[in-house]
């Protein structure tokens, strides 16, 4: 099952990457290898695909280049390999977004799933007490928002179906890994049992915090319109996702946020 992304871009699986249609700009993809993410995995010595995922940061329609730059917005796209990382699903490293331009809050992120299924694992902090912990499962066309300053990772929920998604990010994006790596990952690990079902193991390096497993919430106040691609939302209203680069604009929404 797939959904249209709102711009002429297509994922390739062998090799992992993207092709851009007429009028679309985008960079050569960057590959993330298994060796690069071992420090965030339950079993750092596991086997799995050599290239875990391919990422292209800053794609879009040529006509929107200046509008994106003026708003410090960036659209990124990611394609995951199929398979597993030992007993874990294919997944990203856990990280926190770096604060930019002297802002009080780190940039949030707005994910939209295009194919496969995703679990966005997130927690309020990467300190010894992780705060509230959520695992939000989403399929094609669904949107998940990670609020400012939360530690998070993106997990493929189906080892047979490669995960592909797009996301609104801050143009000066940066990732902080140290706190997550110091705890050996996030507060919970997704692990396949002997029957191939996904279960969750607690990371004992954190204080116990229950994991809430849920579907994506509705966030109309944050510009999410069901059935409308998030890039199309920007095209209709270029300021709709300005809170990604200016998170203070949605400060009320972040208080007690439930993804």
Of all residues in the chain, what percent carry a pLDDT higher than 90? Answer: 94
pLDDT digit string (tens) for 24-42? 999 999 999 999 989 888 8
146: domain CATH number is 2.60.120.10
Whole domain around residue 196: which residue ranges? Answer: 9-254
pLDDT digits (tens, 9 = 90+) for 118-153: 999 999 999 999 999 999 999 999 999 999 999 999
Residue spans of beta strands (DSSP E) within the chain: 9-13, 16-20, 24-25, 30-33, 51-57, 60-61, 73-80, 84-85, 88-89, 96-97, 109-115, 118-123, 133-138, 143-146, 151-156, 164-170, 175-176, 188-192, 198-202, 211-214
* Kind of pairing between the strands at 133-138 and 211-214: parallel
User: Is residue 48 assigned to a domain?
Assistant: yes
Rounded CA separation 8/6 (Å): 7
Evaluate if residue 1 carries a pLDDT over 80.
no
Cis, peptide link before residue 61, omega less than 30° from 0: no
Closest CA to 164 of 49, 17, 26: 17
Query: ∠ at Cα 257 (214, 237), nearest 5°?
Result: 100
- Look-up: residue for tokens 């770096």? 98
pTM of the model: 0.94
Output DSSP code: residue 29.
P
Query: Exposure pattern of 87-106 as b/e (b: 16+ CB <10 Å)?
Result: bbbbbbbbbbbebbeeeebb
Asked, for residue 103, whether it belongs to a domain, the answer is: yes
Q: Could you report the per-residue pLDDT of 100-119, keeping only the tens digit for each?
A: 999 999 999 999 999 999 99
Does some domain include residue 4?
no
In a domain? residue 237: yes
pLDDT at 39: 83
- pLDDT at site 3: 87
Q: How many residues does the chain have?
A: 259
Number of other residues whose CB lies within 10 A of the CB of residue 187:
29
In a domain, 3, yes or no: no
For residue 2, being part of any structural domain is answered with no
Indicate whether 245 belongs to any domain.
yes
Number of domains in the chain: 1
* Tens digit of each residue's pLDDT (9 = 90 or more) over 3-15: 889 999 999 988 9
């Amino acid at each position: 099952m797939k959904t249209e992304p709102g711009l002429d871009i297509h994922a390739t699986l062998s090799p992992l990457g993207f092709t851009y249609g007429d009028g679309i700009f985008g960079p050569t993809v960057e590959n993330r290898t298994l060796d690069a993410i071992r420090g965030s995995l339950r079993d750092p010595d596991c086997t799995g695909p050599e290239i875990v995922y391919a990422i292209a940061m800053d794609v879009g329609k040529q006509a929107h280049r200046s509008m994106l730059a003026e708003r410090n917005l960036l659209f990124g796209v990611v394609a995951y390999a199929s398979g597993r990382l030992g007993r874990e699903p294919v997944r990203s490293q856990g990280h926190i977004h770096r604060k930019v331009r002297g802002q009080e809050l780190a940039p949030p992120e707005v994910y939209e799933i295009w194919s496969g299924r995703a679990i966005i694992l997130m927690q309020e902090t990467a300190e010894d007490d992780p705060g509230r912990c959520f695992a939000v499962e989403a399929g094609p066309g669904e949107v998940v928002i990670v609020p400012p300053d939360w530690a998070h990772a993106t997990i493929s929920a189906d080892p047979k179906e490669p995960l592909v998604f797009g996301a609104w990010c801050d143009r000066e994006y940066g990732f902080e890994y140290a706190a997550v790596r110091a705890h050996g990952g996030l507060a919970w690990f997704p692990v396949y049992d002997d029957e191939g079902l996904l279960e969750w193991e607690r990371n004992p390096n954190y204080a116990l915090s229950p994991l809430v497993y849920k579907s994506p919430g509705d966030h109309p106040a944050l510009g999410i319109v069901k059935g409308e691609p998030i890039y199309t939302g920007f095209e209709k209203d270029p300021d709709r996702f300005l809170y990604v680069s200016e998170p203070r604009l949605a400060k009320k929404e972040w208080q007690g946020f439930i993804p």
